[in-house]
């Protein structure tokens, strides 16, 4: 597992399989130096949400899974030790000034932080964070993740299956060649322009956005939360935060250049 893996949510690391006589019940528990960083849900071992996976802080983790069948007494009937080591990622950091940051041909984590920065990945499967300022992010070749940050940024990709997250501000995004995902998680990320959305290969991912709105339906178009409008030779993706309640209050989340509303379809290139 790579360091800096996103642990906003639980991360599953292994399935726990128990083979016994199928009589009674099996109670699972954890022990070991790093047990507090893990939890068991059902028969899965997970890293807890919020765990800091930083190679320089801690490069390896160890936990013991213990199984107890109460019908056989109070001692643990079996246990297994599980260990994994983080893969060290090259980290290239800027500061609060304007930076020009250039990655390596390996997998890099490049962070601009403050200032109006220019970030180039230069190959590898990289993660780029613009941070504060009006930033320019170029993923180049590889399967990259680009985070714009706080202001109006430019996010460009070349070849690879990439994830582009504009963040706050009015951003311009281009996925380039490959199967790309343009991800939105909140309405305050509205106003972007996607320059090269490929209706056959790319996806507009709105899952977190609709979760944040509390929407639990299956068709936000019918329910008044989502619509696609034509603007010249482009498609506007528009959102109404409360659906059919309180009338029509749509805002434009993003504009897809060269795409028509009829080219967009829930469950294929638009995911909720």
Model confidence over 52-62: pLDDT tens digits? Answer: 999 989 999 99
Helices (H) and strands (E) in the chain, counts: 1, 23
pLDDT tens, 146-180? 999 999 999 999 999 999 999 999 999 999 999 99
Q: How far apart, in Å, are the Cα atoms of 154 and each of 103, 148, 190?
A: 18, 7, 15
> CB atoms < 10 A from the CB of 38, how many?
21
Q: How much is the mean pLDDT over the chain? A: 93
Bridging pattern class, strands 136-138 and 118-120: parallel
In which residue ranges of the chain is CATH 2.150.10.10 found? 90-271
Query: Both tokens of residue 25?
Result: 């019940």
**Domain 11-85: assigned CATH number:** 2.60.40.60
**Domain 90-271: assigned CATH number:** 2.150.10.10
Q: Which of 158, 11, 177 is nearest to 84 (CA)?
A: 11
**Which residues, at least 6 apart from 255, have a Cβ–Cβ distance to it below 8 Å?**
192, 193, 194, 231, 234, 235, 236, 237
> Residue written as tokens 């929407």?
215
pLDDT score at 110: 97
Question: Average pLDDT, stretch 190-196?
Answer: 98
Q: Is the pLDDT of residue 20 over 90?
A: no
- Band the pLDDT of 71: cuts 50, 70, 90: low
Specify the range with the lowest mean pLDDT, choosing from 2-6, 8-12, 35-39, 236-240: 2-6
| C-alpha to C-alpha distance for 232 and 242, rounded to whole angstroms | 27
pLDDT tens, 85-141? 999 889 999 999 999 999 999 999 999 999 999 999 988 999 999 999 999 999 999
In which residue ranges of the chain is CATH 2.60.40.60 found? 11-85
Range list of H helices, the chain = 207-212
Bridging pattern class, strands 60-68 and 27-31: antiparallel
């Amino acid at each position: 597992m790579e360091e800096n893996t996103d642990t906003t949510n639980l991360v599953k690391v292994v399935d726990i399989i128990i083979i016994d006589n199928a009589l009674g019940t099996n109670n699972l528990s954890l022990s070991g130096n790093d047990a507090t960083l893990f939890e068991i849900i059902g028969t899965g071992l997970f890293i807890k949400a919020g765990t800091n996976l930083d190679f320089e802080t801690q490069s390896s983790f160890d936990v013991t899974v213990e199984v107890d069948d109460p019908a056989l007494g109070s001692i643990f009937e079996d246990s297994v030790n599980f260990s994994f080591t983080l893969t060290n990622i090259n980290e290239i950091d800027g500061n609060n000034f304007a930076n020009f940051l250039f990655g390596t041909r390996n997998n890099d984590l490049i962070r601009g932080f403050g200032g109006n920065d220019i970030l180039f990945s230069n190959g590898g499967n990289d993660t780029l964070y613009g941070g504060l300022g009006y930033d320019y992010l170029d993923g180049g070749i590889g399967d990259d993740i680009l985070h714009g940050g706080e202001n109006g940024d430019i996010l460009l990709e070349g070849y690879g299956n990439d994830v582009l997250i504009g963040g706050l501000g009015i951003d311009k995004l281009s996925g380039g060649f490959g199967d790309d995902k343009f991800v939105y998680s909140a309405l305050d990320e509205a106003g972007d322009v996607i320059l090269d959305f490929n209706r056959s290969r790319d996806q507009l991912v709105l899952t977190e956005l609709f979760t944040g709105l509390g929407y639990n339906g299956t068709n936000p178009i019918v329910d008044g939360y989502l619509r696609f409008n034509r603007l010249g030779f482009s498609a506007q993706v528009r959102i109404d935060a409360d659906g059919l309640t309180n009338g029509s209050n749509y805002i434009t989340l993003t504009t897809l250049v060269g795409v028509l509303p009829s080219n967009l379809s829930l469950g294929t290139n638009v995911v909720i």
